[in-house]
Structure 1
Amino acid sequence: MSENGTQSREWNSRFGYIMVAAGAAIGLGNIWKFPYLAYQGGGGVFLVVYILIVAVMAHPMVEMETAIGRHSASDTVTCFERINKKWGFVGWLANICTLLINMYYVVVGGWVLKYAFQYIISGDFGSDKQAYFTDFTTSTVEPIIWAMILLVFVSILLLFGITNLVEKVTKIIMPVLFLFLIICGIWAIFVTDNAIEGLKYYLLPDFSKFSFTVFSQAATQVLFSVGIGWGIYETLGANIPKKNNLKSDAILVSICDTGAAILAGFVIIPSAFAGGVDMQSGPSLIFLVMTGIFSKLPGGRLIGICFFLAIVFAVISSLFTFFEISIRTFEDNLKMGRIKATLIISLIIGAGNIIVSLGFGVLSGIKLPWLDATGISHLGLYDWLDTFTGYILLPLGCLLVCLFVSRVWGFEEYEKELTNNGKFGRITLYDKILTYIVVPVFMVIIILNVFGFIR
């Protein structure tokens, strides 16, 4: 860092950028959420739909957001303002979305850290896995402590800048994450009984199980998993040298993210089949179901250590960029030093973490209203934040980016930045159709679905 707390801006290597960008995308959405959604969505048919949506929705969005960021080489708000001063609100929307996500993401990340630690020291979760999970998550102090450990660790590393110490750390933990997932996948397939049936269910599509709900769930999962619509790639793109090929970088990031999700499915779905477990347990799957399965099968504790450490690494690599989005905005747009910006953002997120964590325990009686086509329902703090950010703010962010690129910045100027003045190809009619029609239609479907207008 320099004396005023700013950081060296450009990535030290292309590999470093790819690892940080992939790390931002690969997180709880891939390893925690993707497998149970794939199971509920019919296995192979969900996987096929998911991959297609990554290709036609996520990949072009990564290209657009990265190009916007590199064009201005600044924070998420300023990068829009430098193209058109009236459009800074898109960056502020991304900051609000990310801060709200961090308020529950760190809490769940703390749960993962606790389980990884428990596997390392004993692997004992008692005879009643549900009681262990409930007692821990509803307690007043312990979940907050684990969340704060995660928050402090990420914040300290970010003091040195995302292109310095964080880049070096991520270049190590991302390959290790994939190694752990591969080890777990091999174990699940070749060591556990009845795993082949789970593998067939996961990989062989039965298109009779396709439905609008499957499509909507896959599209929503891609949105959260790849990390589009909330300022990730504008922030990371600001540090990319002009010589880099943004089109090929976007492909690599999308492949890494999708690969992590698919690998997680290789671990969890065959394991669940082998353990005779119904995966309808949903979000609590890895904490309740996987601990039970690991305790009954050969090498369970060792594989549990690898599995939960892989998720810890995924959480940490994501939080580096999640925090950086708002830190960079406070540092650049609001003219704060790096240290002050990091401290303020950490305090805001930490306060949110405490409230959300208590929402599972002493504040569990607090419910927030949610209005949809069926009337008014009431959601807990975590569920309300998850729904509001993932199903409204993220698709809204994508809609605004598509509108910004096509109508405000214009395809001609966008093409110059994306292709380095034609060095790396051109913007095709297909690209324009994705921006004008396909991505916006997908976003509208997600929003209409969450409000119950389409099912």
Structure 2
Amino acid sequence: MEKKSNHFSGQLGFVLAAAGSAVGVGNLWRFPYLAAKDGGGLFLIIYLILVLTFGFTLLTSDIAIGRRTQKSAIGAYTQMRPKWKFLGILTFLVPVLIMTYYAVIGGWITKYAVVYVTGQAQAAAADDYFTSFISSSTSPVIFALLFMGVTAFIVYNGVEKGIEKVSKWMMPILLVLVVVIAVYSLTLSYTDASGQVHTGWQGFLYYLKPDFKGLTVQRFLQILLDAMSQLFFSLSVSMGIMITYGSYVKPEVNLNKAINQIEIFDTGVAFLAGAMIIPAVYVFSGTEGMGAGPSLMFISLPKVFSAMGKAGTFVGILFFVTAIFATLSSCISVLESITANCMEIFHTGRKKTVLVLSAIYLAVSAVIALGYSIFYVEVKLPNGSVGQLLDIMDYISNSVMMPFIALLSTILIGWIVTPYYVIDEMERSGDKFRRKKLYRVMIRFVAPVMMFILFLQSTGILF
């Protein structure tokens, strides 16, 4: 086995970096929406079960493959089975596409953080503020380039001195901020025009209480697929990131404990994200304000912060700083995955590789940022939605490629190289792989079927 020159200093550094990759903007703007839409506690129960089974299986596979091969996606799959190199190439293309727009979203969040820090919170609550901002031909480009530049600088400094060093202080701060905002959301109360009092605790109970009203087999299946889709994207699996991070893990690190810690951190932040957003939106906007994606973060929440009065500005600052950390940690991992693959393919050094990639993605990010103005297009996607440039890239990478890659990888591991390829690596440090039987059943029988169904649903073929 080839010895990797880059590595994390130990288990803590790896866990925080991997958790940083997993805790992305989807935890903040997609998880709360799905929880509110899909029966509150019912969604949470299903999600937790999937974390312990489906998510555990894919996460374990990626990390173990990375450490065993000491390579990133293309090299790892090639080493496993040369005829399956195409799967490594497909996996490599996912972060290549995601990187085209992730810095743009990071730029949007940074813009709102600046707006709140500079005392313009009321302006951000206006109905047309977000639309006016993203349709501008200058502001979204500037903030996207700024975010891309910071990401590139961290990756440029390497695994231990860049990614790990930043993750060790950024992730604990992110966790503290999420807890603080969640606790504050529970203390909120608002009396509407009819005299009815809405409290944060009511919103929290709405979030936790399983709603079985109108539950049918089809609705249950839809909730299951929503939870699986959220978990799939949240853990950064099937995009090569965890394979790359796994290749940086030292042999003596206990992968069993590390994977458990990553699962706990990611799931904990997702739960707390719901606890800080759902009660706040419920108090001031009811269930009607619980939109998904950008509309939740950039339209609904600024209105909620505005309704809080003077405290809203401070809470807004905390929230968007939290969102910056979550987005930056994920953006770093996406660029690192691309960088690692390119270093292996072209046999180039880190600094030269990052500089070339930075130049490319600075230009591409500018184009995507202008996708709502100069380069505006409307394309009807196979799932029925209409998207612009950013939506097209997101749809291809997340809805089409990632489920397809996960399906193929479960077939490769479960039936061709056999599960023991991963199991042996999990027990390499001498520790017992306690979920070995579960892993074998999931990777061979359950996960392939689930991924096939998710692929059909994500592409609009099913439902």
Taking structure 2 as the reference length, what is the TM-score of the superposition? 0.91
Structure 2 residue aligned with 1:434, among 421, 430, 442? 442
Number of the residue aligned with 1:295: 306
C-alpha distance after superposition, 1:206-250 (max 9, x if no partner): 233552222221111111111111011100000111111212211
Out of 368, 383, 405, the residue aligned to residue 391 of structure 2 is 383
The reply to whether residue 367 of structure 1 matches residue 378 of structure 2 is yes
The one-letter amino acid of 2:144's match is: A
Per-residue Cα deviation, 1:294-340 (whole angstroms, up to 9, x for no partner): 11215111111111100101111111111000100111222122122
State the Cα distance separating 1:81 from its structure 2 match.
Answer: 1.6
Equivalent positions of 1:146-157 (< 5 A) are 146-157=143-154
Compute the displacement of 1:187 (Å): 0.6
- The letter for the 1-side match of 2:416 is V
Question: What is the SS of the residue equivalent to 1:333?
Answer: helix
Which of 316, 329, 354 is the aligned partner of 1:317?
Answer: 329
Moved more, 325-334 or 412-421: 412-421
Per the alignment, do residues 427 and 334 of structure 1 end up closer, same or farther by CA in structure 2, a change over 3 Å counting? farther
SS of equivalent residue, structure 1 residue 276: helix
Cα distance in 2 for residues equivalent to 1:41 and 1:148: 36
Number of residue-to-residue matches in the alignment? 446
Task: Establish whether residue 279 from structure 1 lines up as the match of residue 276 from structure 2.
Answer: no
SS at match of 2:381: strand
- Contact 2:10 2:250 (C-alpha < 8 Å) held by counterparts: no
Q: Are 1:415 and 1:427, in contact at CA under 8 Å, matched by a contact in 2?
A: no
1:3 corresponds to: none
1:412 CA displacement: 2.8
**Distance in 2, Cα, partners of 1:69 & 1:174:** 23
What amino acid sits opposite 2:212 in the alignment? F
Which residue pairs with 1:395 in the alignment?
403
Query: Could you say which residue in structure 2 is the equivalent of 1:12?
Result: 9
Conserved in 1, the CA contact under 8 Å of 2:98 and 2:397?
yes
Once residues 127 and 176 of structure 1 are traced to their aligned partners in structure 2, the CA distance between those partners, rounded to angstroms, is: 25
Pick the aligned partner of 1:417 from 417, 422, 425: 425
Q: Does 1:339 align with 2:387?
A: no
The CA distance in 2 between the partners of 1:339 and 1:396, in whole Å, is 33
Runs of 5+ in structure 2 lacking a partner?
Answer: 191-198
- Please give the per-residue CA displacement for 1:142-183, whole angstroms capped at 9, x wherever unaligned: 101101101111111211112222211110010000100011
Q: What corresponds to 1:351 in structure 2?
A: 363
Q: 2:29 corresponds to which letter in structure 1?
A: W
Percent of matched pairs sharing the same residue: 29
1:238 maps to a residue whose letter is: S
Distance in structure 2 (CA, Å) of the matches to 1:399 and 1:259? 27
For structure 1, which runs of at least 5 residues remain unmatched after alignment? 1-5
The residue number in structure 2 matching 1:159 is 156
CA gap 1:125/1:93 in 2 versus in 1, 3 angstroms: farther
The equivalent of 2:87 in structure 1 is 90
The SS at the match of 1:241 is coil
User: For 1:381 and 1:214, how far apart are their aligned partners in 2?
Assistant: 28
TM-score (norm 1): 0.93
Q: How far apart, CA to CA, are the structure 2 residues paired with 1:411 and 1:44? A: 33
| CA distance 1:42–1:423, change in 2 (3 Å) | closer
For the residue of structure 2 that corresponds to 1:139, the secondary structure is coil
